[in-house]
A = this chain, B = another copy of it.
Amino acid sequence: MAKGLLIVLSGPSGVGKGTVCNELRRRLPELVYSVSATTRGPRLGEEHGVNYFFKTREQFLDMIEHDQLLEHAEYVGNYYGTPRDFVEQTIENGKDIILEIEVQGALKVKEKFPEGIFVFLLPPSLDELKGRIQGRGTENQATIDHRMSVAAYEIGLLENYDYAVVNDEIDLACKRIESIVVAEHCKVRSKAKELQIGK
């Protein structure tokens, strides 16, 4: 059986990663979503293994120590990370898995899992991104300026990715990503000889 693919969907904050990822999961029900591990407690309605793998701090540190995470980060006193096992088992079962993650996290995943397909979601322009960040209406000017300079820096990291997809319209962005997945499955890899050409 052909292996599945890890698709890493990344891009600057505000570009619409979450919206695109949800729409892709709706369109491609067979696509598996990478579930993160976290030390934060479950919120109402959150299920272990669906929303997160809930771990104690000790368990999480143990996972780090045994290289069981493709990346991890600390945020507001809690750990978050991508369990390697879940990704590898899904792929071995011939299913594709998508991981939605910010830019720094994606680059860490690339170090441990270079065979992943790294997709960078781009805003149509920096002005458009600024509009989206301002549109939330929750940030002051200094925060907006800071986020814009982070976004500009992150877009400079684009060359570390395999594909750049402009999120001008969600439908078009999803079609492009779906095409990338189809094309990657047609790619001739070094294991091409395993191809099922029956006699």
Contact = CB atoms under 8 A, between A and B. Distances in A.
Given A125-B199, A155-B197, A163-B183, 12 more contacts: A119-B186, A126-B199, A127-B199, A158-B192, A159-B190, A162-B187, A162-B188, A164-B192, A165-B186, A178-B179, A179-B182, A180-B183
Interface of A: 119-120, 122-127, 155, 158-159, 161-165, 175-176, 178-180, 182-184, 186-188, 190, 192-193, 195, 197-199
Contacts of A180: 179, 182-183, 186
9 contacts: A125-B199, A126-B197, A159-B188, A159-B192, A162-B187, A164-B187, A175-B182, A176-B186, A179-B182
B176 A188 contact: no
Contacts of A125: 197-199
Query: How many copies make up the complex?
Result: 2
Contacts of A178: 179
Contacts of A176: 182-183, 186
A126 B19 CA distance: 44
Contacts of A198: 124-127
Contacts of A123: 197
A161 to B, nearest CB: 5
Contacts of A184: 183
